[in-house]
Each structure stands twice: as C-alpha cells, then as structure tokens.
Amino acid sequence: MPNYRAPGMDHDLYAYSAIPTRPALVWPGGKRLAIWVVLHLEQWELQAPASAIRDARFRGEFGNFFPDYRTFSTREYGNRVGVFRLLEVLDRYQIPVTVAANAALCRERPQLIEACLRRGYEIAAHGNYATRMISARMSAAEEEDYIANAMAVVRQSSGAERVGWIGQDFGESPRTPQLLATAGADYLGDWPNDDQPYWLTQSPPLVSLPYHVEWDDATLMALRQLTAPRYGQIVTEAADRLYEDSAASARMMSLGLHPWVAGQPQRIRYLDQILAHLRQMDGLWFTTAGEIAESFRTQMPQPAAPTGPGN
C-alpha cells in the first residue's frame, strides 16, 4: 500500500491560490488586461553536445540523421528573414516587446539585439542555446553556471542590470527558481499555470509571470499543426475571454512569437490581424514583462512561504 500523503501541493515552490479568493489586481491607469509580447531570438546548433537535453516535443528533429540541414535551416530562416517581418508588424502597432534571447544569439547575432534595443525592447535571458535546456540531469554546479552565463551575457548585451528569465523550452529542475532568485533574476516567465502574476517562495523574493503556452505560435502551428487562420482565431478568442474575466480583477496575456514560425510569409498577416484586434479593445495595457512584475510587486506583498509539500 502506498504511504498516506496529505492533500495539497506536491512541492513548495509556490503556494496554491484560487483566483476568486485573491485581492483585486489593478494595472496602471486602471487598465484591465496586460499584453506582453515575447519575441524569441534563439541560436540553434547543427549538432548539440551529447550531454545536451532538448525539448522532447520536437522529438525526431535534429536526431534522425546528421547533418539535418533542412531543420537547422528552417530555424535559421527566422534569424535571417522572419524576424524582420515580425519587427515590421510590431513597429506598425508600436507594441512594447520582451525579447527572450539566448546567450549564443547575443554573441553571434548582435545586430538582432541592437535592432531590438533601438526600439526600446526589454531583453530577458533565455538560456544559452535553443538546443540546450535546463533539466534535473544537470548537477547543481552545472545549472548554476548555465544560469550565470546566460544572465551575464544578456546584461552585457542589453546594458540592463535587472534581467528577467524566460527558460529555454520552459526547462527547469527543482533548483531553478532558487538559483534564479539568488542570481538576481527580475522575474521567472515559465510556469503556464495562471492568468495573473504570483509570488514564488524563494528568498530573495521572485515573481512568476505565467507564460501562456496554449497560444504560443510554435505550440499551435509547429507542434499541433494548426493552420495560421485558426491560430489567429484562437489568440483573439483568448484575448476576448481574458478581457471579460478581468472585469473584477486585472489579468495578463502573453503572446509568444518565434521568427521561424510566425515570421513565415504565409503566416505574418495573421499576426497583423491579431494586433489590429487587440488595438481596438479598450482597457488593454501593452507592456513588458519587467513592468508587469514591478506593478505586481508594488500591489501584492510577498506572502508567508508554505510550510512544505502537502500543506
């Protein structure tokens, strides 16, 4: 017979919180729904080290044969062509953007980071390569070095002291939130478990900004293989419902964009349609991850940490 376990959380990384029981959240200017666009700028390796862990959702890519120039080139298309289509559309709507940038991309494609900085975009650390994600197979020292390197490179490339973290493919170990808090991360943008920011239990305090993977462009069009028109419909439907939900307490919505996905010529017009839909809605706050985290910190004091799993 299994040992008895009290009902409750299986970990103590954050406390359980039902959204109807929380104090009302209000964005600056009385805005109801915060929109944060996340532009993923990633450097891929043709062949990653044997020890590297890659996202299992893309099983079969970069693995059936070597060298897989077709798959590698599809990703590189985003850095050579697709990203400029995305920037053109974002410029048209004057949308603030949070850039999730790999350390390798900052080193090897600095002109892309410079193009984002000229637009006033916020740069967040996004690991080292798109082909290397954090996992519990790493030792504590390896993970600490991985985080320190990624954050140091982004700080140097962006000139910003406060840098948030959006994990490569959401990879984490049980140590990751504490290592990020210790490294001075401004926020953690990985866990897709809420429509509002919330406090993680680390010390020093760390804010979690839920990333809505449900309508991330790579999730819908590359993995689930939905058509671009359906992608556009899903995103606008999600925005409409989140806006409706925000009547009593403010909500947030991420919009994840990958240049090799949404930047394709047959898909770019649907991003244009999404942003046109959002721009005509009243009460939206177009902002960055860092500004959302700061607004949350000023309104919601950090709660006492839970006493442990199951409590």
- Residue 69: count of CB within 10 angstroms of its CB: 10
pLDDT of residue 69: 81
Give domain status of residue 17, yes or no: no
pLDDT of residue 67: 79
Region 161-186: mean pLDDT is 92
Region 43-50: mean pLDDT is 71
Region 222-235: mean pLDDT is 96
Region 190-217: mean pLDDT is 94
pLDDT of residue 283: 96
Give domain status of residue 236, yes or no: yes
56 compared with 32, residue with greater pLDDT? 32
pLDDT of residue 1: 41
Give domain status of residue 77, yes or no: yes
pTM for this prediction: 0.91
Instruction: Indicate which CATH number applies to the domain containing 240.
Output: 3.20.20.370
pLDDT of residue 132: 83
- Return the SS3 of 253: strand
pLDDT of 48 > 70? The answer is no
Q: What is the mean pLDDT of the chain?
A: 90
pLDDT of 114 > 70? The answer is yes
pLDDT of residue 306: 52
Give domain status of residue 53, yes or no: yes
Domain count, the chain: 1
Residue 12 confidence class, pLDDT cut points 50, 70, 90:
confident
Give domain status of residue 138, yes or no: yes
pLDDT of 311 > 50? The answer is no
pLDDT of residue 170: 87
Each residue's pLDDT tens digit, 154-172: 999 999 989 999 998 888 8
Give domain status of residue 194, yes or no: yes
Distances (CA, A) of 209 to 180, 212, 261, 302: 14, 9, 23, 15
- Residue 248: count of CB within 10 angstroms of its CB: 11
The whole domain housing 92 covers: 22-299
Q: Where are the beta strands (DSSP E) in 164-311?
A: 198-200, 206-208, 251-257, 284-286
Give domain status of residue 13, yes or no: no
Give domain status of residue 9, yes or no: no
pLDDT of residue 304: 66
Residue 3 confidence class, pLDDT cut points 50, 70, 90:
low
Burial of 262 (0-12, 13-18, 19+ CB in 10 A): buried
pLDDT of residue 52: 57
